[in-house]
A and B are shown apart, each in its own frame.
Chain A
Amino acid sequence: MIHASSFKIHTELDAGAARATLVGELDIATVPRAEHAIDALLKDGARSLVIDLSDISFIDSSGLRLFIALNDRAASEGFELGLIRPTDRSLAVFQITGAEQNLPFVDDSEGAP
């Protein structure tokens, strides 16, 4: 049996503005689902994308990689990306890797549609 991390993703898209709310554990097992859902938003024409991580309880290095790749993609494809900070516990991976200074974290009020 493979461990099934509890993870949910909820997406909205309105006039090019997309929001993806991630809940639970983002790790090597659940990253493909998150990636798939976010890809779909971009394919459907999202021009700005806010990813809400405030209900994320765990992020590992593959989760981090997803956001780095997304950030690179935002720069090359020209969409806007904002990440809403996770809680202190799961923020650790961003802090120990220097990602906090390099990824586009936004305040919730700015990012809310």
Chain B
Amino acid sequence: MDIGEARSILDVAHSAFVSMDEDGRILYWNTRAEEMFGLTRAEAVGRPLADTVIPERLREAHWSGLRRFLQTGEGAVLNQRVEMSALRSDGSEFPVELTISALADAGVWTFHAFVADNSERVRAEQDRERLLDELQVALRGTEQRLSVIVEALAEAVTIRGPDDRLLHANRAALDRMGLSTLEELRAADPRMLMEGWETVGEDGREVRLEDLPSVRILRGERPEPLMMRSVHRRTGEEQWVLLKATAVRDAQGSIEAAVTIIEDVTAAKRASLRLEFLARASQMLASSLDYQETLRNVAGLAVPQIADWCAVDLFDEDGEREPVAVAHVDPSKLEMAERLREFEPDELDLDQGLGLVRRTGQPILYNEIPDELLVAAAVDEEHLGLLRGVGMRAVLIVPMIARGRTIGTLTLVSAESGRIFDEGDVEFAGQIAERAALAVENARLYSERSNVARTLQSSLLPEALPAVPGWEIAALYRPAGHESEVGGDFYDLWQVDGDWLMMIGDVTGKGAPAASVTSLVRHTAWAASEFDSRPTEVLARVDGALKRRPSLSVCTALCMRLSLGRGTLASGGHPLPLHIGERGVSEIGHHGTLLGAFPTVDWPETSFKMQPGETLVAITDGVTDTVGLGDERFGQTRLKELLAQAQNDPPVAVRERLVAALEEFQVGSQVDDTAILIMRFTGTRAGAGHGTQVPSATEV
């Protein structure tokens, strides 16, 4: 390659290329150099390089370096990347990165340098430092108040910078991470910080750094809030957290950090998981009279969400145990369980383990499994080896009690997951065991499915209506058809943030499929209301949950949030509630989309006020669709007339009147389920609302 060829290549090179002779004069200057320094080749060639591109303060060093090299052959800056400041022809300085090499030709030296403009990178670094400073100022300095607020939040709050490192965390967040100072936090590798926990999402898959909402925001994505289960590797403590991240943008709109609010939703999430589990277990227990198979299914349901191992043992009349079910999420481990079983005597030791639970009817919780315990339980060396091999972290044994007799035990073992059990787990396991015991007992005593269906139906409705301050409430549920069938109507009433949420709904279909949708709707509404109790939001969550089911699952539901003398409501394709007041009976609220059915959705929310003595009546369509003579339906008009007559009745009397009217009207047997919820506002003792007249049940 001759010089000309080399130069034409250098002319199109992306980097600036500059050559200099022994006298320090510019020999060559490529096109990129022209752009970078703002000087044409004709202007540059022949001029001293130092005067052209080197800031004045650095020129002396340049000349002395050149002299030293020519004398000694030593160059401090040769053949390595050097960062320095350079000068444009307009006198402005900018950061560059360059590599200089020296070539000798016939005893004469020439110097060549590739020069890259470093402004962008340096600016990015400076920006990051500035951001850090600003954040620190914002959080600790002049904006003391913000800092106080962030610190005071019960929720943990963290701020993540563009390099994924955490820049800031409030006290709650530091405590969560087991750190004591912000310096420790900033020095920590973000991946290492996550190492202390085992983190999985709701789908059971591991959550990695890349999956965190804050990290995804910094990648320019728009992540949904992430629900994550974390188990502390050392303490075994399990937590459910909801991570919501927001982007912090600079004046130009680019993302410079991500703020995450880490909400501890352990209690709500566990409650919802447990409810879901109970609903599914109840359904399973009611689905078959083959209780052995059913118990196996229930045990399978418990792993790995509740425990790593789940076993069910029943006792016969003579107190001998009958192992019925054992489940582990990994089928290969089951073999180990089978082998362990072989060592265990059928005759129970009444002073420990299952025998003790059978004798006392009390649960036992071992959150520490010292080796001595295994030694005491083992019958021989081989047995001990197997027991040690399970790697038990915690064991919980609860009795299955039916008719006052301990008929079996449910055993939960935590091993691989490393979590421990708490009192909530004991209570929850007790509830499962109670239902399982009931199912076994029912199966043993009766061969009719109807009993099981009744049990299940009652498990889908609140056991008793809670006492709601300021409100008097009566409810009615009348399932249609065979007793062995479970209906699809439901209602529920529960407390959230000092207000009360009421839900009434109708799942189309009957039997076990409808029951499983009903329980899904109820537990979803429960859990959703913990996060956002606005009726519209609760309906949206239920709609989402129904749409995630593999088969079409639709449901109408009315959701109301009640406070003293006022409320809000939204309807998902459900008949609107009727308001009974001085001025008669009228529907309140606006219609909204059926749940689980359609891509286009809208649940307008309506606020209303109530005067003392006024009543709300929520029904399912089984009421108005009741069939009378000549295929006539009971209808809305008849319902309104009846309620108008009941204007001054307390809820229980309204209910009795309505039931009597329906029974009189109805011809033949009832076709559809019927649910009714009647709520009268009794007012407060303080007599709020007497001074100012608010329009009654008007939408405000």
Contacts and interface: CB of A to CB of B under 8 A. Distances in A.
Interface of A: 1-6, 25, 27-29, 58, 60-62, 64-65, 68-69, 72, 95-99, 101-102
Given A61-B506, A102-B599, A3 B573 contact: no
Contact of B592 (A25, A58, A62, A98): A98
Interface stretch (B106-114, B122-130, B668-676): B668-676
A39 B146 CA distance: 64
B631 interface: yes
11 contacts: A1-B668, A2-B671, A27-B625, A29-B671, A72-B552, A96-B591, A97-B597, A98-B598, A99-B594, A99-B598, A102-B597
A102 B668 contact: no
Interface in B630-670: 631, 633, 667-669
B631 A6 contact: yes
Contacts of B597: 68, 97, 99, 102
A3 B669 contact: yes
Nearest to B481: A2
A3 B597 CA distance: 29
A58 B594 contact: no
The listed residue with most B CB atoms (<10 A of its CB), out of A1, A65, A72, is: A65
Interface residues of B, number: 31
A101 B600 contact: yes
A99 B594 CA distance: 7
Contact of B593 (A5, A58, A97): A97
B508 A65 contact: yes
Interface of B: 506, 508-509, 552, 554, 556, 571, 573-576, 591-594, 597-602, 621, 625, 627, 631, 633, 667-669, 671-672
Given A62-B508, A102-B600, A97 B594 contact: yes
A58 B625 CA distance: 9
Given A29-B671, A98-B600, A69 B627 contact: no
Nearest to A7: B631
Contacts of A27: 625, 671-672
Contact of A98 (B593, B621, B625): B593
Contacts of A25: 631
Contacts of B593: 97-98, 102
B669 A96 contact: no
B480 to A, nearest CB: 8
Contacts of A5: 627, 631, 671
What 8 A-B pairs have minimum CB-CB distances, sorted nearest first? A97-B573, A98-B593, A97-B594, A102-B598, A3-B668, A65-B508, A96-B591, A1-B668
Contacts of A2: 668-669, 671
A10 B124 CA distance: 74
A98 B668 contact: no
A98 B591 contact: yes
